[in-house]
Amino acid sequence: MHIALPDEGSWAADLRHLLDDSFALAREPQLGELLRALMVEAQLDPAFGTRFRAEFLERRRAALATLVERARQRGDLPAALTAGFAADVVFGVLWYRLLAIPQPFDHHLTEHLVALLTAGA
């Protein structure tokens, strides 16, 4: 699955674009079910879990890290924000909503995450 690396000119705009794209996929019922099934299998089968983390999860973290580094180079990233923390927040929220609570992946969620991850920029 292709991971878009938007360059909208600012950290906030790049992050918003990435979140909107990610959340649009998560809203697709069949894809949401598939992602839940893959995560379950990753917990049950260590070999599959290793491949899933390397080929799926880490690729998404790396894409977000690229956006963080670009923002750092532009000088519009909060000083204390790391790529790892940004990924933990973004993907932690995504997986929590997919696996644990039936809350929407909507514009409000995007804006809350953008506000959190751009504070102090």
Per-residue pLDDT at 120? 76
Per-residue pLDDT at 15? 96
Q: Nearest-CA neighbor of 84 among 57, 107, 108, 46?
A: 57
- pLDDT per residue as tens digits for the range 7-21: 999 999 999 999 999
Per-residue pLDDT at 113? 98
Per-residue pLDDT at 81? 95
Per-residue pLDDT at 1? 60
Per-residue pLDDT at 4? 77
- How many angstroms from the chain centroid is the CA of residue 41? 20
Q: Mean of the pLDDT values across residues 56-72? A: 95
* Amino acid identity for residue 97 in this structure: R
Considering the entire predicted model, what is its pTM? 0.90
Per-residue pLDDT at 121? 66
Helices (H) and strands (E) in the chain, counts: 6, 0
